[in-house]
Amino acid sequence: MSLLFGRQSNKTIKTKKIPEGSHQHDLLKYASATLGSGNIKEAVALPNGEDPSEWIAVHTVDFFNQINMLYGTITESCTAESCTVMSAGAKYEYHWADGATVKKPIKCSAPKYIEYLMQWVQEQLDDETVFPSKIGVSFPKNFMTIAKTILKRLFRVYAHIYHAHFSDIKALAEEAHLNTSFKHFIYFIQEFNLIEKRELAPMQELIDRLVSSK
């Protein structure tokens, strides 16, 4: 499955598939089954004997796919005209830079920022030297740094959806799906300390409510 970002975009972001029969696919099935039991805290905990990098990699792919789908439902409402800057409320504005092709942060519309972001994440996930899918291939030494950057940026898409498009999500009756996905994301990044608290500030009030409600 793939989603097209914006009517005038020619860039397609594809859902990232974890190969069936792989250990990572088994981990994803285990995580989904545990999550289905309703205990999110237990669902995000590292299973006994598993590699933390592999567990984090599987969830990073899963969250990328979830956010890809959630944002895809409101792309018609998130336009360069309606969302002239990438923001999460009046106090938080994000400028894009990937450190490679765009080294100096640039100000752009929310849909353009999210297009850049999702393309960049997809490139990381597709890179076997960063996210190895074959058994026995080690994760790179800088894997955690890359994973943290990916998750920090994916959080910004959640934040933008909540601040700018929650009414659109409600109109589509998708708020339960969004809240469940975001709650899972927050429990996971807190379990492994993957995003600095200051980065979470635009959503802190909701985070406190979600985490306190079991």
First-to-last alpha carbon distance for the chain, in angstroms, is: 33
Strand pairing partners for 93?
A: 87
Task: Answer yes or no: is 160 a known binding residue.
Answer: yes
Read out DSSP for 124-168? HHH-TTTS--STTPPPPTTHHHHHHHHHHHHHHHHHHHHHHHHHH
The closest of 109, 66, 6 to 58, measured between CA atoms, is 66
Q: Which two tokens stand for residue 54?
A: 């592999």
Do residues 56 and 191 lie in contact, with contact meaning Cβ atoms separated by under 8 Å? no
The answer to whether the annotation marks 83 as part of a ligand binding site is: yes
Sheet strands (E) in the chain: 2-4, 12-14, 86-87, 93-94
The annotation places the binding site at: 78, 83, 160, 165
The annotation places the binding site for Zn(2+) at: 78, 83, 160, 165
